[in-house]
A and B are shown apart, each in its own frame.
Chain A
Amino acid sequence: MKPILVTCAFAASMLAAPPIVIQNATILTVTKGTLTGSVLIRDGKIAEVGEKIAVPADAKVIDASGQFVMPGIIDCHSHIAADSINEGSVSVSAMVGIEDVLNPADIAIYRALAGGVTTANVLHGSANSIGGKCTVIKLRWGKDAHDMIFQGAMPGIKFALGENPKRAGNPTGQRIGAGNVPPRYPATRMGVEDVIRQAFTDAKAYQQSWKDYNEKIARGEQALAPRRDVTLEPLVEVLEGKRLVHSHCYRADEILMLLRVADDFGFKIRTLQHVLEGYKVAKEIAEHGAGASTFSDWWAYKLEAIDAIPYNAAIMTKKGVIVSLNSDSAELMRHLNDEAAKTMKYGGMTETEALSMITINPAKQLMIDKRVGSIEVGKDADITIYDKHPLSNYAKVTKVFIDGQLYFDRDNDLAERPLREAEKKKLVDKEKEQQRRPTPGAQRRPAA
């Protein structure tokens, strides 16, 4: 009940908020070209975009002369705002989910916001062939965990192939079974395929058992409901197209393997994550209809990244794959615009293609492109303003709006610094004071 109340209150506050007009900016809509003009924000949505628009009398006007307005950046692969990300004890951990461990106080949220990011796909880790459920969030810094969630976004699940899920098979990094830690199946890429295939075989049987039960009930027959299996339920959702698969992968062989497993079971891989050798099997990826979410130029950090090239995004784009650039890192997440510029350097992407990879393409991959990913009338007012062109290394973010609300403002951040310093000093002084004279109250604290 409480969440609904909160949502109502939240919606009401937005309705009451005056419209905002961002004026005199270069507007990079991403999907509808570039223009110099204004954006009108009303009730958290983009209400108008144009060279000349009428300013409502009650509007708050922001003069963005010389500045650049673009859609808020969408990171299709992040682990920020999560208290833990790997349930590594089992090879199939579909029963766990990020939504249960969202941490709205993670400072990485604010830092990413300051880098122009407004939406992130928060994924389970890559320790397991089939990992946990993922959650798409908006970086509404200051709100609680529930209000971070991107309502209406499709739920997802993380898969992982290659070195990471294999690692638990030989935890010492030596021969399988060496050392004191018992190995966990699988320890090879062959085993990874088997784990996924067996899980979906089980999921199909489980799906059938419910189908049979429901049919019996519908016929008025007596029947015992199958035992609920919370590990298989998300996989049934995958089979039924209700949950998106985001799979960590590197090598061409394992990418193809996963596509074929999905083909056999009749489901789709929504995104291949990292997918550093995606360029080798771009044709097959495009045919399957999977999206690819990759790094701009990471390479050489592990053996399965040995053939990673910075031209990956460009080749896959040229071969018809929808490509996004992700961070997988609280740091990289702060400058995805710089990463996008690298696709122009490596492979000759256009400015629009480059910007698409951090806006509309990840929106499509997460099936939220009706809501976000471009500056278009009717979409959520998730907007980032830069002082220079965002594909320049000299650009910095000045303001970020989510749902038409200002969540980051560089001027405010700078102005608040002395206050934060003063607050910190006060807290540190208080701590020092308490250490000098332990209060009776402190002793009454219950033992941990």
Chain B
Amino acid sequence: MRTLTFAILLSVPLLAGQDDSFLIRGATVHPVAGAEIQNGSVLVRDGKIVGVGRNLAAPKGTRIIEGKGLHVYPGMIDSGTDIGLSEIGSIRESVDVGEIGKFDPQLRAEVAINPSSEHIPVTRANGITAVITLPMAAGGDGGGRRGGGGGSIITGQAALVHLDGWTWEEMEVKKSAAMAMRFPTIVSGGGRFGGGDLPPDIAARFSYTEQKKNYETELRELKEFFEQARRYQKAKAAGGKDFRTELKMEAMLPVLEGREPLVVMASRERAIHDAVQFAEQQKVKVIIADPRELGKMGPELKARNIPVILGPTLALPAQEDLPYDSPVTLPGDYFKAGVKFAFGSFSGNNEFSRNLPYQAATAVAFGLPYDEALKAVTLNPAQIWGVGDKMGSIEEGKSADLMVTDGDPLETKTQVKQLYIKGKSVDLDSKHTRLYQKYLNRP
């Protein structure tokens, strides 16, 4: 088995190193940025898309890939994972998602991404070529399964990475795509399954009075932290001889200077509202992540051009008395409100990152136009994470992150036949396919 694994690992670079220039022809090309092209071609040179259209001529010697009966789409981007940071959810030693400390902007997800994680080949086999990996606040159970820290507010820098590479450096698309944080909130009970059945001691911790006190404390601490960072910014600019470089504060500068957005986990309407107000007051860029409702926030999000990362549609309603379909109608509501959004799987331990396209499809059944669903896993995330000029659609000059399928990629039954990341053919095998073959053939 060891030899077998070794052989398979070896085959990746051989295959990948072979060529990142080719022409796919005769396929239905779905550029996402434009109309579908029947009998279309995509020309790739040195890992970049250099031509899209009908009857493209390829330079002599270019490798030709016949795409008859196949469809070419841009690779998908999952905007909410901890891929590389978490391997087995219940095994503390394999999880590096949440650090100790309330304010940890200096932490970089990227450097802790394990390029050998089993989650990488499993996820990309379904056509996902890049992901946002973000440090997240642990639950209230400090030292629990998500990592060390309970109650973190600023959790660290989210990285945008390709799901291919020998090292995290090779995987990197954008090392600090955003500063991840959770917005302080008052968690209210949602009826029977929203905290109503808690034991009395725990319920006391979650009582409205306690919650409000905690919320106000956290909000004050958050503002103080930003003020501290601004003082640091000024001190640094002044350049006094007593100035001491502090990594925690350094990490805040790109945020304060508007070069790096905050990505804020905010589930309820009031948390979204608070986060938007906070960003406005602080004059920083913000992306809202994993909201469970829209409420009256639509016009404000639209007016301020605040993008949103929508979480799982295959989820239970946030409250007992909400309509049964409220999680699946939410993307349609955001669309109607004119808010720009992408999907993130936010499944905890990445278990369902590979189901990202189905998360989008389910929203289509409940009111989201199909084209918008497709955009929300390709072009929109690229634009939201600041790489709209580099990936997310099939356009000249963009990275050749392509999936070749036998049908609509948002349908479960569809198979991904080929996958290219930066023009390199990527192995679609994983531990899952290897175990499948091995045990299917057990005598």
B364 at the interface (CB under 8 A from A): yes
Q: A393 to B366, alpha carbons, bound, how many Å?
A: 11
Q: Mark each residue of chain B from 142 to 173: 1 if its CB lies under 8 Å from any CB of chain A, else 0.
A: 00000000000000000000000000000000
Whether the Cβ atoms of A345 and B415 lie closer than 8 Å is: yes
Q: Which of B118, B193, B362, B439 contacts A300 (CB 8 A)?
A: B118
Whether the Cβ atoms of A345 and B412 lie closer than 8 Å is: yes
Whether the Cβ atoms of B413 and A344 lie closer than 8 Å is: yes
Whether the Cβ atoms of B365 and A395 lie closer than 8 Å is: yes
Whether the Cβ atoms of B436 and A311 lie closer than 8 Å is: yes
Q: A311 to B122, alpha carbons, bound, how many Å?
A: 13
Whether the Cβ atoms of B366 and A301 lie closer than 8 Å is: no
Q: Which of B320, B411, B436 contacts A392 (CB 8 A)?
A: B411
- Which residues of chain B come closer than 8 Å to A420, judged between CB atoms? 321
B354 at the interface (CB under 8 A from A): yes
- Which residues of chain B come closer than 8 Å to A263, judged between CB atoms? none
Whether the Cβ atoms of B435 and A301 lie closer than 8 Å is: no
Whether the Cβ atoms of B88 and A344 lie closer than 8 Å is: no
- Which residues of chain B come closer than 8 Å to A332, judged between CB atoms? 314
Whether the Cβ atoms of A309 and B435 lie closer than 8 Å is: yes
Query: Which A7-31 residues have a C-beta within 8 angstroms of B?
Result: none
- Which residues of chain A come closer than 8 Å to B317, judged between CB atoms? 111
Whether the Cβ atoms of A107 and B314 lie closer than 8 Å is: no
Whether the Cβ atoms of B439 and A335 lie closer than 8 Å is: no
B358 nearest CB across to chain A (Å): 5
Q: A280 to B440, alpha carbons, bound, how many Å?
A: 9
Q: Which of B193, B321, B361 contacts A424 (CB 8 A)?
A: B321
Whether the Cβ atoms of A301 and B90 lie closer than 8 Å is: yes
Q: A107 to B412, alpha carbons, bound, how many Å?
A: 28
Q: A154 to B254, alpha carbons, bound, how many Å?
A: 65
Whether the Cβ atoms of B361 and A393 lie closer than 8 Å is: yes
Q: A392 to B323, alpha carbons, bound, how many Å?
A: 23
- Which residues of chain B come closer than 8 Å to A392, judged between CB atoms? 411
Whether the Cβ atoms of A394 and B324 lie closer than 8 Å is: no
Whether the Cβ atoms of B88 and A107 lie closer than 8 Å is: no
Whether the Cβ atoms of B351 and A300 lie closer than 8 Å is: yes
Q: Mark each residue of chain B from 190 to 201: 1 if its CB lies under 8 Å from any CB of chain A, else 0.
A: 001100000000
Whether the Cβ atoms of B365 and A393 lie closer than 8 Å is: yes
Whether the Cβ atoms of B192 and A107 lie closer than 8 Å is: yes
Q: A335 to B315, alpha carbons, bound, how many Å?
A: 10
B337 at the interface (CB under 8 A from A): no
B304 at the interface (CB under 8 A from A): no
Whether the Cβ atoms of B436 and A315 lie closer than 8 Å is: yes
Whether the Cβ atoms of A335 and B362 lie closer than 8 Å is: yes
User: Provided the pairs A107-B192, A283-B442, A347-B436 are in contact, do residues A297 and B90 lie with their beta carbons within 8 angstroms?
Assistant: no
Q: A396 to B88, alpha carbons, bound, how many Å?
A: 33
B293 at the interface (CB under 8 A from A): no
B432 at the interface (CB under 8 A from A): yes
Whether the Cβ atoms of A300 and B324 lie closer than 8 Å is: no
Whether the Cβ atoms of A396 and B119 lie closer than 8 Å is: no
B350 at the interface (CB under 8 A from A): yes
- Which residues of chain B come closer than 8 Å to A306, judged between CB atoms? 88
A370 nearest CB across to chain B (Å): 31
Q: Which of A301, A388, A417 contacts B89 (CB 8 A)?
A: A301
Whether the Cβ atoms of A303 and B439 lie closer than 8 Å is: no
Query: Which A310-364 residues have a C-beta within 8 angstroms of B?
Result: 310-311, 315, 318, 330-332, 334-335, 338, 341-342, 344-347
A401 at the interface (CB under 8 A from B): no
B91 at the interface (CB under 8 A from A): yes
Q: Which of A299, A309, A330, A346 contacts B351 (CB 8 A)?
A: A299
A279 at the interface (CB under 8 A from B): yes
Task: Select from chain B the residue with minimum beta-carbon distance to A279.
Answer: B439
A68 at the interface (CB under 8 A from B): no
Q: A334 to B350, alpha carbons, bound, how many Å?
A: 21
B160 nearest CB across to chain A (Å): 22
A302 at the interface (CB under 8 A from B): yes
B410 at the interface (CB under 8 A from A): yes
Whether the Cβ atoms of A330 and B442 lie closer than 8 Å is: no
Whether the Cβ atoms of A303 and B365 lie closer than 8 Å is: no
B339 nearest CB across to chain A (Å): 23
Main secondary structure of the interface of B (DSSP, over half): loop
Q: A420 to B323, alpha carbons, bound, how many Å?
A: 10
Whether the Cβ atoms of B439 and A315 lie closer than 8 Å is: yes
A95 at the interface (CB under 8 A from B): no
Task: Select from chain A the residue with minimum beta-carbon distance to B143.
Answer: A173
A298 at the interface (CB under 8 A from B): yes
- Which residues of chain A come closer than 8 Å to B414, judged between CB atoms? 345
User: Provided the pairs A345-B413, A393-B410, A413-B324 are in contact, do residues A300 and B436 lie with their beta carbons within 8 angstroms?
Assistant: no
A416 nearest CB across to chain B (Å): 10
Task: Select from chain B the residue with minimum beta-carbon distance to A344.
Answer: B413
Query: Which B352-366 residues have a C-beta within 8 angstroms of A?
Result: 352, 354-355, 358, 361-362, 364-366
Whether the Cβ atoms of B361 and A300 lie closer than 8 Å is: no
B87 at the interface (CB under 8 A from A): yes
Whether the Cβ atoms of A110 and B362 lie closer than 8 Å is: no
- Which residues of chain B come closer than 8 Å to A346, judged between CB atoms? 432, 436
Q: A311 to B88, alpha carbons, bound, how many Å?
A: 19
A51 at the interface (CB under 8 A from B): no
A307 at the interface (CB under 8 A from B): yes
B224 at the interface (CB under 8 A from A): no
B425 at the interface (CB under 8 A from A): no
Q: A330 to B317, alpha carbons, bound, how many Å?
A: 11
Whether the Cβ atoms of A300 and B89 lie closer than 8 Å is: yes
Task: Select from chain A the residue with minimum beta-carbon distance to B122.
Answer: A299
- Which residues of chain A come closer than 8 Å to B324, judged between CB atoms? 110-111, 114, 334, 413
- Which residues of chain B come closer than 8 Å to A424, judged between CB atoms? 321
Whether the Cβ atoms of A300 and B349 lie closer than 8 Å is: yes
B280 at the interface (CB under 8 A from A): no
Q: A310 to B352, alpha carbons, bound, how many Å?
A: 12
Task: Select from chain B the residue with minimum beta-carbon distance to A307.
Answer: B435
A391 at the interface (CB under 8 A from B): yes
Task: Select from chain A the residue with minimum beta-carbon distance to B362.
Answer: A393
Q: A393 to B408, alpha carbons, bound, how many Å?
A: 11
B4 nearest CB across to chain A (Å): 15
Whether the Cβ atoms of A280 and B439 lie closer than 8 Å is: yes
A203 nearest CB across to chain B (Å): 33
Whether the Cβ atoms of A344 and B321 lie closer than 8 Å is: no
Query: Which A88-143 residues have a C-beta within 8 angstroms of B?
Result: 106-108, 110-111, 114
B76 nearest CB across to chain A (Å): 15
- Which residues of chain A come closer than 8 Å to B439, judged between CB atoms? 279-280, 282, 315
Q: Which of A107, A299, A311, A338 contacts B193 (CB 8 A)?
A: A107
B325 at the interface (CB under 8 A from A): yes
B222 at the interface (CB under 8 A from A): no
- Which residues of chain A come closer than 8 Å to B442, judged between CB atoms? 280, 282-283
Q: Mark each residue of chain A from 432 to 446: 1 if its CB lies under 8 Å from any CB of chain B, else 0.
A: 000000000000000
Whether the Cβ atoms of A300 and B316 lie closer than 8 Å is: no
- Which residues of chain B come closer than 8 Å to A279, judged between CB atoms? 435-436, 439
Q: A424 to B354, alpha carbons, bound, how many Å?
A: 39
Whether the Cβ atoms of A318 and B358 lie closer than 8 Å is: no
- Which residues of chain B come closer than 8 Å to A417, judged between CB atoms? 323
Whether the Cβ atoms of A311 and B412 lie closer than 8 Å is: no
* A–B pairs, 19, beta carbons within 8 Å: A107-B192, A279-B436, A282-B442, A298-B351, A299-B432, A301-B349, A302-B90, A307-B431, A309-B432, A311-B435, A331-B316, A338-B358, A344-B412, A345-B412, A388-B365, A393-B361, A394-B411, A413-B323, A420-B321
Known: A302-B88, A391-B413. 9 other contacts (CB 8 A): A107-B321, A299-B351, A300-B118, A301-B349, A309-B435, A309-B436, A335-B314, A344-B413, A345-B412
Which 9 A/B pairs are nearest by Cβ-Cβ distance?
A393-B361, A311-B436, A341-B412, A302-B90, A301-B89, A309-B432, A114-B324, A396-B365, A394-B365
